[in-house]
């Protein structure tokens, strides 16, 4: 098989220059004597096992404890982790990673390609039943689906280790953004010997063996976890933060109080408080763009008959004044959305969809026109529907504002209905709604993580929108080297057919103590690593 070297530029520069993989501390920085970083987490971690962990906060800890093939830098680009570089075969189906030879586990054993093979096989193993097994399918690793379904043995997974420092991955279809997916926790290596010795208790601090910059030294359920520097980590000399403590604080307001009391260095800002906190703490309150969208989804399968008419869907979308929702209601630095994919997504150029270029007055006029054309509104049939959202103050505010806009501008009657989270998910998943709230956070930094959701086979397509052209374009994008025009076309179709109303793209509002430096504020996935941080004396 012939290979062509396809080292991505970021990697090349990363390996050839003396890179700042760890904390990038300026020479004149006055480092604090106590390098302990303490932050608030809302929920207990689902697990510390990289192949089992779910959720954002769990992944944050696992990223510190384990290191995968690549890490991300402050801008979200890949930088070497255990892997130094990779090559891609001509057919884009085989990836060969070269691993560094100085990576070690916390017990001193070398990190080998075999540890990755074991971990990836583990992720799809039916007995472990990883809730993230689907991620391996999403990565298109050969035979992943068949193994998950119990049809093939795990040894058939398309991953192998010809030697200790070479990892070969065989894909079932070309995936141009495959390398962007290997900084995800599910792909981190796992220590076979520790897992076999301790079973499911291998993640306890006393049993755990890990290869990241930190080791788990304490874990009190629902109260705190402590991780301390791993002396075996290959780049430990450049790591500055010695100790990272998470405190479980369920109540957001209490998190802020404890931030004010100096007990935590980082906490989330409760909804609606960003403007006042930004004024009070201009250097500590941040609104960071995030790879998530917020939308209203039309049930086009068994919702109201009117929703089957694209003109009605467009009219309802046009009538929503997004800037009122972002600037007057939420006030947290969110971005008005006219496309499904957030503009911050890597390699995604926001296409100029027609309604995004209009003024709100023009959109309102067009909305009335479209609704009238479809036979609804003041001179036609009365339009009325239910809007379903999960119980939360901010969702309620958005729902009230949007329903008032529809009422005043289009004379549409909307009944608001809220449900507890899991009840809501079940109702929405069973298509027992007219219009429902939706939100999606990208699993990786590429537009397909959003746009795949609106394809016919997607299990997350709650409105059951189906368009053959969209499906075909998304399939083509999987193997295309230039996805920009394809994604632009999909977004244009979505703007014309409006199966969902994009409302806004998220931002994360956090308080971060001014002594903490090195936070990757430009990384839209907010994938941060404690090893890249440092604290300065105040």
Instruction: Write down the least CB distance from residue 199 to other proteins, Å.
Output: 10
CB of 184 to other proteins, least distance (A): 14
- Contacting residue, 13, 276, 413, 439, with other proteins by CB under 8 A: 439
Name the one range near other proteins by CB under 8 A: 61-69, 72-80, 245-253, 377-385.
245-253
Q: Is 45 in the site for other proteins (CB under 8 A)?
A: yes
Binding mask 389-428 for other proteins (x = CB under 8 A): -------------------------------xxxx-xxx-
Contact 272, 394 (CB under 8 A): yes
Count of CB atoms situated within 10 Å of the CB of 305? 8
User: What distances in angstroms separate CA 119 from CA 64, 116, 124, one per listed residue?
Assistant: 17, 5, 9
Question: For 151-186, what is the HEC assignment?
Answer: CCCHHHCCEEEEECCEEEEEECCCCCCHHHHCCCHH
In the bound state with other proteins, the residue whose beta carbon lies nearer, of 65 and 74, is 65
Angle value at C-alpha 163, between 157 and 167, nearest 5 degrees: 45
Shortest separation between residue 172's beta carbon and other proteins, angstroms: 15
CB of 265 to other proteins, least distance (A): 14
19 vs 492: CA distance, rounded Å: 40
Choice between 1 and 129, CB closer to other proteins: 129
Q: Which is nearer to other proteins, 145 or 166 (CB)?
A: 145
Q: Among 3, 12, 34, 43, which residue sits at the site for other proteins (rule: CB under 8 A)? A: 43
Q: What is the CA radius of gyration of the chain?
A: 24
In angstroms, rounded to a whole number, what is the distance separating the alpha carbons of residues 78 and 405? 43
Contacts 24+ apart (CB under 8 A), 193-200: 193/109, 194/107, 195/122
Virtual torsion, Cα 512, 518, 524, 529, nearest 10 deg: -100
Among 15, 46, 392, 466, binds other proteins (CB under 8 A): 46
Please give the Cα distance from 154 to 269 (Å, whole number).
44
**Of 46-54, 97-105, 152-160, 405-413: span binding other proteins (CB under 8 A):** 46-54
CA distances for 171 relative to 85, 434, 452, 490, angstroms: 18, 39, 19, 25
Measured from the CB atom, the residue of 48 and 376 that comes closer to other proteins is 48
Place of tokens 């990786």: 444
**Residue 224 binds to other proteins (criterion: CB under 8 A):** yes
Token pair, residue 164, equals 């200790």
d(CA 288, CA 491): 24
Residue 39 sits in the site that holds other proteins (CB under 8 A): no
Rounded to whole angstroms, the Cα distance separating 414 from 231 reads 60
Nearer to other proteins, 252 or 327 (CB): 252
Shortest reach from residue 86's CB to other proteins, in Å: 27
Cα–Cα distance list, 49 to 158, 233, 467 (Å): 22, 18, 39
Map residues 49-88 to x or -, x wherever contact with other proteins holds by CB under 8 A.
x--x-x----------------------------------
Q: Give the residue with the Cβ less far from other proteins, 36 or 484.
A: 36
Interface of this chain with other proteins, residues 86 to 145, rule: CB under 8 A: 126-131, 133-134, 137, 145
Stretch that binds other proteins, among 44-52, 279-287, 321-329, 350-358 (CB under 8 A): 44-52
Q: Report the nearest approach of other proteins to the CB of residue 314 (Å).
A: 26
Q: What residues make contact with other proteins under the rule CB under 8 A?
A: 43-49, 52, 54, 126-131, 133-134, 137, 145, 148-150, 200-201, 203-204, 220-224, 247-251, 254, 257-258, 260-261, 263, 420-423, 425-427, 429, 439, 459-460
């Amino acid at each position: 098989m012939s290979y062509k070297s396809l080292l991505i530029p970021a990697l090349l520069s990363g390996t050839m220059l003396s890179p700042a993989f760890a904390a990038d501390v300026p020479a004149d920085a006055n480092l604090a004597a106590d390098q302990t970083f303490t932050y608030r987490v809302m929920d207990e971690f689902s697990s510390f096992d990289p192949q089992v962990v779910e959720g954002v906060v769990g992944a944050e800890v696992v990223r510190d404890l384990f290191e995968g093939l690549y890490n991300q830098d402050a801008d979200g680009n890949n930088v070497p982790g255990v892997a130094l570089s990779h090559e891609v075969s001509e057919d884009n189906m085989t990836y060969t990673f070269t691993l560094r030879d100085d990576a070690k586990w916390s017990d001193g054993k070398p990190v080998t390609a075999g540890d990755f093979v074991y971990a990836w096989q583990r992720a799809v193993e039916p007995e472990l039943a990883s809730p993230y097994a689907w991620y391996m399918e999403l990565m298109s690793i050969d035979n992943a689906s068949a193994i998950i379904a119990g049809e093939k043995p795990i040894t058939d997974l398309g991953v192998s280790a010809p030697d200790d420092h070479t990892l070969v991955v065989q894909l079932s279809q070309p995936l141009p953004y495959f390398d962007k997916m290997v900084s995800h926790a599910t792909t981190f290596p796992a220590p076979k010997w520790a897992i076999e010795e301790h079973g499911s208790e291998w993640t306890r601090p006393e049993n755990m063996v890990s290869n990241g910059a930190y080791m788990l030294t304490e874990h009190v359920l629902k109260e705190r976890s402590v991780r301390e520097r791993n002396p075996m980590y290959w780049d430990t000399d450049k790591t500055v933060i010695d100790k990272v403590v998470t405190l479980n604080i369920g109540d957001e307001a209490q998190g802020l109080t404890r931030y004010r009391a100096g007990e935590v260095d980082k906490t989330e800002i409760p909804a609606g408080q960003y403007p006042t906190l930004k004024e009070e703490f201009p250097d500590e309150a941040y609104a960071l763009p995030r790879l998530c969208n917020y939308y209203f989804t039309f049930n086009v399968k068994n919702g109201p008959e009117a929703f089957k008419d694209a003109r009605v869907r467009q009219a309802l979308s046009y009538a929503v004044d997004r800037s009122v929702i972002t600037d007057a209601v939420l006030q947290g630095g969110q971005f008005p959305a006219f496309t499904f994919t957030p503009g911050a997504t890597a390699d995604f150029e926001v296409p100029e969809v027609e309604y995004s270029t209009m003024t709100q007055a023009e959109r309102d006029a067009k909305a009335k026109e479209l609704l009238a054309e479809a036979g609804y509104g003041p001179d036609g049939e009365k339009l009325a529907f239910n809007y379903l959202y999960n119980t939360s103050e901010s969702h309620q505010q958005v729902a009230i504002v949007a329903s008032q806009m529809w009422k005043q501008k289009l004379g549409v009657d909307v009944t608001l209905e809220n449900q507890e989270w899991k009840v809501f998910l079940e109702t929405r998943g069973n298509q027992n709604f007219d219009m429902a709230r939706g939100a999606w956070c990208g699993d990786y930094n590429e537009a397909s993580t959003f746009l795949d959701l609106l394809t016919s086979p997607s299990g997350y397509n709650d409105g059951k929108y189906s368009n053959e052209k969209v499906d075909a374009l998304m399939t083509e994008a999987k193997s295309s080297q230039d996805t920009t025009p394809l994604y632009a076309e999909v977004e244009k179709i979505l703007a014309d057919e409006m199966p969902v109303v994009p409302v806004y793209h998220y931002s994360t509002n956090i308080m971060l103590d001014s002594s903490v430096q090195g936070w990757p504020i430009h990384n839209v996935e907010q994938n941060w690593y404690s090893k890249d941080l440092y604290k300065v004396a105040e």
